[in-house]
Structure 1
Amino acid sequence: MCDLADSPAVRRLTDWDASTLESLAAEYETPLYVIDLDRVAENYARFSTAFPDAEVMYAAKAHTGKAVLETILETGGDIECAAWGELQRSIDAGADPNTLQYTAVNPPDHDLDYATDLATDHPGLTITIGAIDTLERLADRGYDGRIAIRVNPGIGTGHHEKVATGADAKFGIPYERVPDVADRVRDGFDLVGLHAHAGSGVLTDGIEEHCRAIERVGAMARRVGDLEFVDVGGGFGVPYREDEKPLDLERTAEMVRDAVGEIDATLKLEPGRYVVADAGVILTEVNTIKEAPDTTVVGVDASLATMIRPAMFGSYHPMLNVSVPEREPHPVTVGGPVCTSADVFAHDRPIARPEREDVIAIGNAGSYGYELASQFHSQPRPGEVALEDGGHRIVRRRETLDDVTRVEQ
């Protein structure tokens, strides 16, 4: 376990060493992802310490880079996966397949084939279902192993309507149907748990509503009975804006335990964003300065293909001119080279007045950053550098155009 004495609950962008980031940009070119593996370990350890009696699984979808998964495993953590590729990447990183949990959401045939084949030799694998169809398809494949039921609690929480999964019919078995589905599972499978995930990016102000969803899951667990675990998912947020306070983790842990109530089962949680968000930044170089009537446009080489969260969710990410952080701030609009008005990271954001070839850091890019990167406009995806033990190493090389076109016939 990491020593948390010097590990703050939140890492602001200004806490990163600007000169180190600028030197990494010079050495590896931009746009560039940087992930601090020591911070990943610290965040996971802090979360686990707050829930000492629970099993804390890292939600791989937040960042599936091999170096991150290896770091989680080295801290003693387990991994929750939402697709077959995440299962395989977790195994490649050293995970015991018997410890993995696969949360199937409308799974393609290939995913179920992979999972059931994997369970043949590794019966400890748990498959979470969110539809009766999935149960029938598992039975058709001869699977009779460990099953968890995903409960739809009817309450969605989080930073955006697109992540409020707890009230979305796409996710989980409708609440009142769960007991009947549990009976059906027990007829042909090993029912080991209930699972739910209310939403993502929840901070202290939203934790009460989040716990209302967890309360319903705890009540259903007592109603169904005889379970190995109750998994209340993740969704625990980090402050993206400079004036937002970090999650009061100790208070949150107390509220979650109270919400679940007395259960004769292990409590499971699946933090993803909390573990990796503030451990990552994007470095991007300024290439264009344009004075427009209503704003100063700053063009950079990162784009929505590098990180789509601002375009998809309207997300705020802190920004810092690491080349000259002491220069007088100036409100600017920062956008990339993609041909759409959605390709903007910030409007009228006060930043130390950028000039061409300055390097700007975009903070809190460790979660759902590289995971959602694309090759739009035939842009090769960026490289990624990991910081660890006072040094750094390349953990993902920058793609080339050959990588972009390699699959074409």
Structure 2
Amino acid sequence: MSTGTGEGETAPDGESESENPPVRRLSAWDAADLEELAATYETPLYVMDLGRVRENCRRLREAFPDADVRYAAKAHTGRAVFEAVRQEGLGIECASAGEVERAFAAGASGSEVQYTAVNPPDGDLDLVVQRWEDDPDLTVTVGARDTVERLRERGFDGRLCVRVNPGVGAGHHAKVTTGGHAKFGVPYSEAESVVLDARDDFDVVGIHAHAGSGISGDDLSAHREVVRRMGDLARAVEEETDLEFVDVGGGFGVPYREDEPALDLPAVAEATREALGDVDAQLAVEPGRYVVADAGVLLATVNTVKESEEYETVVGIDAGMTTLLRPAMYDAYHAIRNLSAGEDRNATSVTVAGPICETSDVLCEHRPLAAPARGDVLAVGNAGAYGYEMASTYNSRPRPAEVVLDPEPRLARRRESLAALTELEQ
């Protein structure tokens, strides 16, 4: 199945330039192929192109040739995606015990898995420690002295990384700017002490910090400052003990709007190396969004078209905030395309809304779109990151199905049934 092409840089493995652009726009997806998938699997439907996932992994490894590149699992935890990133040589960074279990289920070994504990529930620590007992190469990252003590109480004495709050944050929205929020990491002023205190009971292998999610060229100064502080900390710690890696997180942004340029990843990589400076430890990065965002689209069907004085035309679809939360949660922009509209349909200003009983259940407002009609199939771009992952069953709506292109389409996740929504009830 053809998934479309765009313009861009030279691709690996003999691919032409047009097959591996620095970003895949929604216009590059083949409309007929996507409509066929919608007809075959019904909507709402997520579509993930594993070939594009692999291309993005290769681009990262080329930009950071000497770094340990780990995929931030929370962006998309599908087994097919995990398998694809592992095939490209990336490790997996997990934010929960559930993600750790998914990584192992996808064939990962402990040496490929890093668990980053954020105020971890007891059950998470219990499960991860059990996993470590079977595979001692697993690494646990802690962000509080309490977590260090709780691991000690559980008999864990393995590979430990200390997450630091660098006091500087960046990202596309305040809700994902982690670097400056007290929730994340031990205070920078205490980090060296925490590392050195943990040496006697653990194998302290690294330090970690993360500025935020969706970092673009506009806020690289904050990213550089985080990395610079981590370099300073690493040099101070290395006077007392050896470190295996300095992890500066990920958060590399993608252009959600059609007119935004692609991230200059080589420039980001060079700025990261320069800011880190001379350290004995290996640089580590944890991209998530960059790997999967433009590898995914969401397909939805128009069910209602009505005129409104305030909103001109309101277009109702069968996907809403329970399918794709980002617009309601972050006021996020996603490109939308009418796959069913021919050249004879003029663009009209529309508001695209879902079926959820919330005013926030709107994917866009006052957006030009080829005039929709009932039964048309719409595609929502850059839906591969934090799309399916943030789906919910609010309003008792089952979660959608997901198809992967590998390169031919196959069903990766079945559509949730109404019966499944009540399975846990007693």
Q: Which of the five TM-score ranges fits, normalised by the shorter chain?
A: over 0.9
Matched, 1:28 2:44: no
Q: Distance in 2 between matches of 1:101 and 1:368?
A: 20
Structure 2 match to 1:284:
300
Structure 2 match to 1:87:
100
Q: Distance in 1 between matches of 2:25 and 2:266?
A: 20
Which 5+ residue runs of structure 2 have no aligned equivalent?
1-10
Q: Which amino acid aligns with 1:323?
A: S
1:99 deviation in Å? Answer: 2.2
Q: Is the 8 A contact 2:110 2:139 kept in 1?
A: no
Aligned to 1:298, which of 315, 318, 339? 315
Give a deviation string over 1:140-190, Cα, whole Å, max 9, x none: 001111110001000010000000000000000100001111121112111
Secondary structure of the corresponding residue to residue 192 of structure 2: helix
TM-score normalised by structure 2 residue count: 0.94
1:238-387 map, 5 Å:
238-294=254-310, 295-324=312-341, 326=343, 327-387=345-405
Aligned to 1:96, which of 109, 123, 126? 109
Q: Which amino acid aligns with 1:322?
A: L
Secondary structure of the corresponding residue to residue 334 of structure 2: coil
Which 5+ residue runs of structure 1 have no aligned equivalent?
none
Give a deviation string over 1:280-327, Cα, whole Å, max 9, x none: 010000000110112210000001000100000000000000011532
1:106 deviation in Å? Answer: 0.3
Secondary structure of the corresponding residue to residue 165 of structure 1: coil
Q: Is the 8 A contact 1:217 1:232 kept in 2?
A: yes
Q: Is the 8 A contact 2:213 2:252 kept in 1?
A: yes
1:98 deviation in Å? Answer: 2.8
Q: Which amino acid aligns with 2:177?
A: A
Q: Which amino acid aligns with 1:216?
A: R
TM-score normalised by structure 1 residue count: 0.98
Percentage identity across paired residues of the two chains:
57
Q: Distance in 1 between matches of 2:139 and 2:331?
A: 35
Structure 1 match to 2:121:
108
Q: Is the 8 A contact 2:301 2:377 kept in 1?
A: yes
1:73 deviation in Å? Answer: 1.1
- C-alpha root-mean-square deviation of aligned residues, in Å? 1.1
Q: Distance in 2 between matches of 1:26 and 1:49?
A: 38
Q: Is the 8 A contact 1:203 1:246 kept in 2?
A: no
1:2 deviation in Å? Answer: 5.0
1:121 deviation in Å? Answer: 2.1
Give a deviation string over 1:74-114, Cα, whole Å, max 9, x none: 11221111101111101111101232100000001111011
Q: Which amino acid aligns with 1:79?
A: I
1:240 deviation in Å? Answer: 0.1
Aligned to 2:62, which of 43, 49, 58? 49
Q: Distance in 1 between matches of 2:183 and 2:361?
A: 29
Aligned to 1:9, which of 22, 26, 43? 22
How many residues were matched structurally? Answer: 408
Structure 2 match to 1:182:
195
Secondary structure of the corresponding residue to residue 303 of structure 2: strand
Structure 2 match to 1:398:
415
Q: Distance in 1 between matches of 2:231 and 2:369?
A: 46
Structure 1 match to 2:8:
none
Q: Is the 8 A contact 1:2 1:41 kept in 2?
A: no
Give a deviation string over 1:218-275, Cα, whole Å, max 9, x none: 1111111120000000010100001111100111110000011111011110000000
Aligned to 1:65, which of 41, 56, 78? 78
Give a deviation string over 1:105-146, Cα, whole Å, max 9, x none: 000111101111111121111100000000000010011111
Q: Distance in 1 between matches of 2:342 and 2:406?
A: 24
Higher mean displacement: 369-378 or 92-101: 92-101
Q: Distance in 2 between matches of 1:208 and 1:148?
A: 25
Q: Distance in 1 between matches of 2:266 and 2:205?
A: 28
Higher mean displacement: 317-326 or 306-315: 317-326
Matched, 1:160 2:173: yes
